[in-house]
Each structure stands twice: as C-alpha cells, then as structure tokens.
Amino acid sequence: MRLTHQDINLRLEHPFKISRGTQLVASNVLVHVEHDGIFGVGEAAPSTYYGEDQATVHAALNILEPALGDDPFALEAILERFDATIGGHGAAKAAIDIALHDWVGKRLALPVWRLFGLSAEAAPQTSFTIGIDTPEKMAEKAASARNFPILKVKVGTPNDRENLAAIRHVSDARIRVDANAAWTPKEAIAALRSLEEFRLEFVEQPVAAGDLDGLRFVRENVGIPVICDESCVVSSDIPKVAGKVDGINIKLVKCGGLRRAMHMIRTAKAHGLLVMMGCMIESGILITAASHLSPLLDFADLDGNLLLAEDPYPGVVVNNGWLRLPSGPGLGVGSR
Ligand code: MG
C-alpha cells in the first residue's frame, strides 16, 4: 500500500471560541492510501490539547507507513502493528483507519455503514454548536441555526447566564452545554444550578480531565446527565469513568479511527454508559466517517464541517438536523 499525506488548512466561517481558546483555521492533514488502483481517503484533525499538530501527524504517518503491509482488508492486524510501532497519535492513526475503510468500501462497492452492519435510516440528529461570543452574537447564531432542533452551547465563562438567556429568547431547541473542563466541581454545580431554568439536556466535561471524582461529585449534585469528553480518550479510559458519569463523547481523532470507536461504543454500552460521538473542526471526510457509526449513538455532535467557510469534501448531508448517510461506496465523500 502507498500512503500520501498533505496539509489542509480549513478556514472557519466565524472564529470559534471555547473556554480554553479561539480557533480561526483548522490545520488538518489529508491522507490517501492507494492499493490496486483504488484510493482511500482519510483526514487527521490534530489537537495540541492532545499533543498533536500537523507536524506530529506527518511524522507519525511516516513512522506508520512501513507497518501498513499489503492487505487493506487486514484491518485488525494493521491497527495492532500500528499500536506496537508507536503509542498515542490518535489523529494520525484515525486518518489511516478511515482511508482503509474507504478503500474497503470502494473495493466491495458498499457504504461504510453497511460494512459495519448498520442501517442508514437509524442515523440520529446532530446538534449544531454555538461557540462563546457576546450574548447578542450567540443569539444571532442560534436564530440562524433554526433548522437544527438541537444546539450545543459552549459555556465556562462569567457570562453563561446572559448567553443562555439570549439564546433561549430566540430558540426552543434542545440545548446541551459543553464547559470544556472550565470549572471546579463546586463552580460547576453552582453554574449548572443557575442555568437550570434554560432546560439543559446534559452537560459535557464540566471539570478538569483528570478530576474523575469531581465528575462524580457534579453528577451527584445536578439534575442533568454528565457526559465526559476530555476525560475519556481511548477505550481503556471507559472503566475509569464508569459510575462517575452518565456517558462518554467519542471522537475518531482521539481514539484512532472507526474500528477503535466501534470498540469504545460497545465497551461503553457494556458499562451502562450513554454514547455520544463528537468532532473537532474538520472537513466532511472525518464528519462523514463518524456519521457512518451514528446509528449506534445516543447523541451525535457531528457538525465540525458546518462551521467551515467551505467544506472541500462534502459527504453526509444534514437535513433538519438529521444525518443523511451517503449510499455510495466507501465513505461516500466527494470533493469540490
Ligand atoms: Mg466537548
């Protein structure tokens, strides 16, 4: 198999602010795996929070390339060789895993959701994310997202109440919030109680990633489910958070791709946890890849491509929030 990779810098339509910073461009990596004249496409959306960027992705891909072998169907063996070659580097590994699934789907003329034995009709609605801004701007974004019955609002600022009030004033959507680890447990409980009147669906990652007892303390003291994201990266994290949270947010670039995500979904369900899949700011390649597993989810937050000025690789279509999975072979992603 032949591996090629190049930077893709995706410009956002608006600056995207969360509790720990603001993003203007998603500096991602486009990956192709070629074998027998068929090209599989994948994408890495590295996050410096998890120790990756474009340079580490290219370096990891170069290290992994000799472990690819010559059989794209041998996915389990390939991923085992990858993990034996280099630990971590979930975004780089995810890019290859996704390209291999695209390759296999194209070879067999089947969409990825069928390779996993799923039904496209069971795909859920995704939320649309509102980044942190002034109350007026956040309300404006919520109003213009009226085709999305579910909003995910970023919180963890001194103005959360004003922001949520402004959004609630213009929107009847289901609203979930994500604090991206901004609060101490006591702050989280106070903040969430002060937001109760806005009828929140759940809270994502209220406290620091390593504060698992803090997650449990928050969960015991607020009336809404607690989902962890930064606290749960790979499947071995699941037993550690079980009993402390209501659910986990899986991301392909954290865990290393579709097969690892499938394993996490099953492991989480075995622990009685709710399962959400989320995303970084990414093109239709990664968003569509995650969407192929979405029929298995309790909550989908797969909107990273919708925050771009333009998505160069459109695939999954969103209609009133519903994820409409492609029926073409592989990922079903095109290019503009
Ligand atoms: Mg999150």
DSSP 247-311: EEEE-HHHHTSHHHHHHHHHHHHHTT-EEEE---S--HHHHHHHHTTGGG-SEE---GGGGBS--
Any idea which residue has 């410096």 for tokens? 48
How many angstroms separate the alpha carbon of residue 178 from the centre of ligand 1? 6
User: Alpha helix locations (H) across the chain?
Assistant: 54-64, 75-85, 90-108, 112-115, 135-144, 160-170, 185-194, 212-221, 238-241, 252-255, 258-270, 284-291
Residues of the chain with pLDDT under 50: none
How many angstroms separate the alpha carbon of residue 31 from the centre of ligand 1? 25
The predicted pLDDT at position 213 comes to 98
The predicted pLDDT at position 312 comes to 97
Any idea which residue has 């937050």 for tokens? 301
- Can you tell me the distance from the alpha carbon of 62 to that of 56, in angstroms, rounded to the nearest whole number? 10
The predicted pLDDT at position 284 comes to 98
DSSP assignment, residue 246? Answer: S
Which two three-digit tokens encode residue 260?
Answer: 């690892």
How many angstroms separate the alpha carbon of residue 327 from the centre of ligand 1? 29
- Can you tell me the distance from the alpha carbon of 84 to that of 56, in angstroms, rounded to the nearest whole number? 18
- CA–chain centroid gap for 224, Å, is 21
How many angstroms separate the alpha carbon of residue 102 from the centre of ligand 1? 26
Instruction: Give, as residue ranges, everything with CB less than 5 Å from ion ligand 1.
Output: 178, 204, 229
The predicted pLDDT at position 336 comes to 78
How many angstroms separate the alpha carbon of residue 131 from the centre of ligand 1? 11
- Can you tell me the distance from the alpha carbon of 252 to that of 261, in angstroms, rounded to the nearest whole number? 6
Among left, alpha and beta (phi > 0; psi -120 to 50; other), residue 163 is alpha
How many angstroms separate the alpha carbon of residue 206 from the centre of ligand 1? 10
The predicted pLDDT at position 335 comes to 85
The b-or-e profile of 270-300 (16+ CB within 10 A means b, else e) is: eeebbbbbbbbbbbbbbbbbbbbbbbbbbbb
The predicted pLDDT at position 124 comes to 98
- Can you tell me the distance from the alpha carbon of 162 to that of 171, in angstroms, rounded to the nearest whole number? 14
Of 253, 261, 287, the closest CA to residue 91 belongs to: 253
The predicted pLDDT at position 183 comes to 98
How many angstroms separate the alpha carbon of residue 113 from the centre of ligand 1? 24
- Can you tell me the distance from the alpha carbon of 215 to that of 108, in angstroms, rounded to the nearest whole number? 44
